[in-house]
Amino acid sequence: MTGFLLVDKPSGWTSHDVVAKIRRLSGVKKVGHAGTLDPMATGLLVVAVGPVTRLLRFLQDLTKTYIAEATFGIATDSLDADGEITEKAPMAFDRRQLEEAVSTFVGDIEQIPPMVSAVKVGGKKLYELAREGKEIERDARPVTIHQFEVLGFEPGEYPTASFRIQSSKGTYVRTLVDDVARRLGGRAHLTALRRTTNGSLSVADAATIERLEADGVDAHLVDPARALADLPSFTIGAEDAAALINLIELRITDKFYC
């Protein structure tokens, strides 16, 4: 058994929980995913089953789209609703000011990873250090925000807003939202996050855990050609195909491109 699964991850599950579930349902040990979703988050998790796991690195680099909801004026240690409140102060701004702040984060930016994250520093994951009550300096990382749109806004003592975000690999949406709040003179935390696309793959085509349990993994496997449709491709002849299969290095030239 081999192929890709489009899974609609439920809230409360880690990405590893989903992988472990697919291992049990499929009976295949070699299972991986194309990009972590935090436990609170829901939505599209692309899972590879069997030999195609070697192709996951290509899917991990594709642009991803998220729908996010946030509350302003309240900060947590994890920057999402799963964390403990660390700051609370009312904020006053309108939708226009929010949209202006959001627009400054479109393009190539740098983000400092949150302490509650799986980023490793000195061989230890940041969230492990956070559990020990430690906070250390983190280097900023380059990411690209292709789209950042305000979908909804509710003013008040603690304003709430929803966003559509299209971003590169490695983007922390909870950090992005908190950075917007800082630009407005306060803090914020995520209250909901849903990944809707990974490249051209959509959560609309994803199966829930319950559906996978009822139908079996086989019924929902996606052909690798479809999963990798966003990647550049070229056509080669039978001789070169044989060489490729036998792991003989090919010299790829323009004549192969179609």
pTM: 0.87
CA distance 72 to 88: 9
CA distance 110 to 122: 21
pLDDT score for 130: 65
**Phi, psi values for residue 103, rounded to 5°:** -65, -25
The reply to whether 38 belongs to the active site is yes
Residue 55 has pLDDT above 70, yes or no: yes
Give the residue-averaged pLDDT of 19-45: 94
Domains along the chain with CATH numbers: 3-62+201-233 (3.30.2350.10), 64-198 (3.30.2350.10)
Give the pLDDT band of residue 257 (cuts 50, 70, 90): very low
Q: Which is catalytic among the residues 8, 38, 178, 179?
A: 38
Give the residue-averaged pLDDT of 76-96: 95
Instruction: Give tens-digit pLDDT for 206-251.
Output: 999 999 999 999 999 998 888 888 877 778 778 777 776 665 554 5
